[in-house]
Copies of this chain bind each other. A is one copy, B any other.
Amino acid sequence: MERKAAIIGGGVIGGGWAARFLLNGWNVSVFDPDPEAARKIGEVLANARAALPALSDIPMLAEGTLTMADTITEAVEGAEYIQESVSERLELKHRVFAQIQQSCPETLIGSSTSGFKPSELQQNAANPAMIFVAHPFNPVYLLPLAEVVPSPASDLAAIERAKEILREIGMFPLHVRKEIDAHIADRFLEAVWREALWLVKDGIATTEEIDEAIRMGFGLRWGQMGLFETYRVAGGEAGMKHFMAQFGPCLQWPWTKLTDVPEFTDELVDLIAGQSDEQSGAYTIRELERIRDSNLVGFLRALKDRDWGAGKVLREHDERRRTGFADGTHEISAAPMVMAQMQVLPSWIDYNGHMTESRYLFASSETVDAFLRFIGADMEYVAGGHSYYTAESHIMHRGEAKLGDHLTGTLQVLFADEKRLHVFISIKKGGQDVATVEQMLLHVDMKAGRACNAPKAILDRLLPIAAAHADLPRPKAVGRATGQRG
């Protein structure tokens, strides 16, 4: 089933929403009068394509179609979900909602606002019940959090539907039960920002020193447990009450300057911008974005391996897609399936700095293993005495992979029946093949030591993929003999 989301406002945040929907198989229509909008969204989308699939151990859905709409009305037509990410001006948001609700009064409208309460957004709306806050965090395509804030006028069934949609695109909707200014997370960001401005203004610390004070210490803690769980652990055996008894009284200390608001003078702006240039100016913003995304992918994969925090969200997202493919909710697209994302590690390298020969086959095996797990021939299945065995492989070396390269393993089913599984694997670097492997696998009864028919449960998953791939162009390397010309 084709699903459509409308994105109103295509900046960094709107672009991030668009990328998240697109990469999760939704069609997206964007309205933004900025003539640069398409280019900007294209850049966010390129970043997202480089990062998001690396978090997934299940094929991504076929990417949806992106269109740029000329009007809000055109953008929202037929949309199941609308996300507003225009500038933080209440009267502008009101105008956007009015225009949307002229044609779609019953469609969900989430707002990316960081400052306004849903009751403020809803003022004078044709249908206030459908307008709520869905506040994401940059980069929207990687960070799971979306604060979902209804007002008393909201339709709670609609809110539940919105949360379900956010989960479908891999997010973690945090239902904020009482509306307040700035919701929850931004209150903390605001508090920290104020304190940081004072520290810079008073010459206590530079922007770089402040960043080090965060990322060398508590920032690492907060990425995996939050504030309270961290303190619970710090309190040790004596527990949370003990911790609070110890640190509660500090609240009375006359430390903080938070009671004052630093004046936002040109001088202060110049001071901070200058220090920031000094700290980070060696990198362009594009470079910093890629560094940030690569780091976040590393953190998120670490948490996924450990089934903890944001890693749990990723696993649930995988499981949801796995089920969707199994029960037919998600169509298998007529395209080779991306089954593995790998990075060339130091131990994969030979003395010339290139990936050793056997690692190409290893990368192919990773791809096939992921595919076998996907059709249900997973570890548990194999423990039951059946498996797919590789009968033959034909490897073609088409390029070179080097230390640190990101490789993608795709798999195309050439043919499948009850016993046989004929596949073509491409190991790609930046879209180019570095190696291809044609492989024939047989379904075997391991005890009996001979080929046998795969059970219905496996075939029900495998054969639709074979059918979807049947019309794909046959790769030239298929059916080649070693050394064959041309």
Known interface pairs A280-B229, A306-B295. Does A222 touch B224 (Cβ–Cβ under 8 Å)? no
- For the complex, give the distance between the alpha carbons of A168 and B217 in Å: 18
The answer on a CB contact under 8 Å between A232 and B288 is yes
The answer on a CB contact under 8 Å between B180 and A188 is no
Query: Is A277 an interface residue, CB under 8 A from the partner?
Result: yes
Instruction: Name the CB-closest residue of B to A265.
Output: B248
Number of identical monomers bound together in the oligomeric complex? 2
Contact of A310 among B88, B216, B247 (CB under 8 A): B216
Contact of A241 among B88, B177, B236, B273 (CB under 8 A): B273
The answer on a CB contact under 8 Å between B189 and A218 is yes
Contact of A213 among B115, B145, B303 (CB under 8 A): B145
Tell me the A270-303 residues at the B interface (CB within 8 Å): 272-273, 275-277, 279-280, 285, 288-289, 291-292, 294-296, 298-303
* B contact residues around A310 at 8 Å (CB): 215-216, 220
- For the complex, give the distance between the alpha carbons of A277 and B244 in Å: 14
CB distance from A80 to the nearest CB of B (A): 24
Contact of A181 among B224, B253, B306 (CB under 8 A): B253
Query: Is A214 an interface residue, CB under 8 A from the partner?
Result: yes
Of the stretches A70-78, A100-108, A198-206, the one at the interface is A198-206
List residues of A whose CB falls within 8 A of some B CB: 11-12, 88, 115, 137-138, 143-145, 147, 172, 174, 176-178, 180-182, 184-185, 187-197, 199, 202-205, 207-230, 232-237, 239-241, 244-253, 255-256, 258-259, 261-262, 264, 269, 272-273, 275-277, 279-280, 285, 288-289, 291-292, 294-296, 298-303, 305-306, 308-310, 313, 346-347, 349, 351-353, 365-366, 369, 379, 382-383, 387, 446
